[in-house]
Homo-oligomer: A and B are copies of this chain.
Amino acid sequence: MEKKKLNVGLVGAGFMGRTHSNAFRQVGEFFKLDYQPVLKAVATRNAQSAADFAVNWGFESWEDDWRKLIERKDIDVIDIASPNDTHAEIAIAAAQAGKMVMSEKPLGRNAAESEQMVAAVEAAKVPNMVWYNYRRVPAVTLAKQLIDDGRLGRIFHYRAKFLQDWTISADVPQGGAGTWRLDAQVAGSGVTGDLLAHCIDTALWFNGSIDSVTAATETFVKQRTHAVSGKVEDVKIDDASAFLARFHNGSLATFEATRYARGHKALYTLEINGEHASIAWDLHDLHRLSFFDHGDEGQLRGWRSIHITDGDHPYMRHWWVPGLQIGYEHTFIHQAADFIQGLSSGQPATPTFRDALKTDYVTDAVLASARSGRWEQVRS
């Protein structure tokens, strides 16, 4: 039972580079797959960083330019874990070179970039996927199954928010290694593309397409020192973003993201209310799912807190025993496993680039509405 190799070339040696590397390293021990990922090379601009990262994670080699990765014949898949402003160029070049392409989210900095990326991978007919990892939280995957099974009936409401508090201090810089997410040129947008994009990806997956939105954004700290230039510069990202949405299925929704919600580190919460049942989940206790079933006997109806650690819960038979929780990093392992299974089955793992483009249409509409003060239609 010799496995085939899936030779990975990773771009980026930051936080997401770590989560992806870990996923590729671990997936083979926990999932029976036809392909074994091989950490072939990592590329990042600083050669020393590339080398250190490669040694730490067991990459066979490293490069100081992502273009060298794409040129290499011994690499099957280019995995993009570098800042947002690099996604489009790398993905397009990789696709044109016939590589499979994985990209961190959001796909591009805006839908225009993303459309080019979709066109490139589809023209090249290469497998492609975007790392909207929260789809692979077992509780979230179970929620999707319940919705698809029709357990909720007609949907009335969807609500999601993603709350953080790490940029409240005006001393946090913008730009540079750890804080490029505050630099609009690099990130494309602020919390809209960073945090709301996660909320939207799940929402579209759960509840279908969004027709229109009305939005508000805010930048609470107007100027920050730029970590690269060293100068105090205007902050051009959105610190907070909220919108109301009408889904195509007639349901009404609220969305919000911010980095100014004191007390919340990475609190992504979602809830969906249907005629027969409701589901809620949050990232701070990701191993639990809240479920209310109106079909339960009247006196005994209540929100159930389901500890998603049983063998019959999505992905969980690959892990430990009931009661023992997994964490954040496992979502990436699951997604890596699904990508590989997609290669075997011919059923691509989602979200593909095309799927992820839909999220960008929503974020574009959100930002447009925040500017226009009007409801904006979402492209489709």
Contacts and interface: CB of A to CB of B under 8 A. Distances in A.
B252 A254 contact: no
A196 to B, nearest CB: 13
Interface in A1-51: 15, 18-19, 21-22, 25-26, 28-29
Given A161-B254, A263-B294, A298-B310, 13 more contacts: A26-B26, A29-B57, A156-B261, A218-B252, A240-B252, A242-B244, A242-B252, A265-B310, A286-B325, A287-B327, A301-B306, A326-B328, A373-B374
A121 interface: no
Given A304-B302, A310-B299, A328-B320, A156 B244 contact: no
Interface stretch (A69-77, A276-284, A335-343, A357-365): A276-284
Interface of A: 15, 18-19, 21-22, 25-26, 28-29, 56-58, 142, 146, 152, 156-157, 159, 161, 163-166, 168, 214-216, 218, 220, 240, 242-244, 246, 250, 252, 254, 256, 258, 260-267, 273-278, 283-289, 291-294, 296, 298-307, 309-310, 312-313, 319-330, 373-375
B56 A29 contact: yes
A119 to B, nearest CB: 33
A-B CB proximity, top 3 nearest: A266-B323, A265-B323, A263-B292
A250 B219 CA distance: 10
A222 B320 CA distance: 29
A133 B374 CA distance: 35
B329 A265 contact: no
Contact of A374 (B152, B312, B374): B374
Given A29-B57, A327-B330, A374-B374, A307 B265 contact: yes
A329 B266 CA distance: 22
A83 to B, nearest CB: 16
Contacts of A218: 250, 252
Contact of A216 (B57, B142, B214, B313): B214
A167 to B, nearest CB: 11
Contacts of A375: 373
Given A283-B323, A328-B326, A299 B142 contact: yes
A159 B254 CA distance: 11
Contacts of A242: 244, 252, 254
A218 B287 CA distance: 32
Nearest to A159: B256
Given A299-B310, A302-B304, A306-B300, A324 B246 contact: no
A278 B263 contact: yes
A366 to B, nearest CB: 11
A307 B258 CA distance: 19
A309 to B, nearest CB: 6
Nearest to A324: B328
A285 B325 CA distance: 8
A159 B244 CA distance: 13
Nearest to A25: B29
Nearest to A1: B55
Nearest to A151: B300
19 contacts: A29-B56, A156-B260, A156-B261, A156-B262, A157-B258, A165-B294, A214-B373, A242-B252, A260-B273, A262-B276, A262-B278, A263-B294, A263-B301, A266-B323, A284-B325, A298-B310, A319-B329, A325-B328, A327-B330
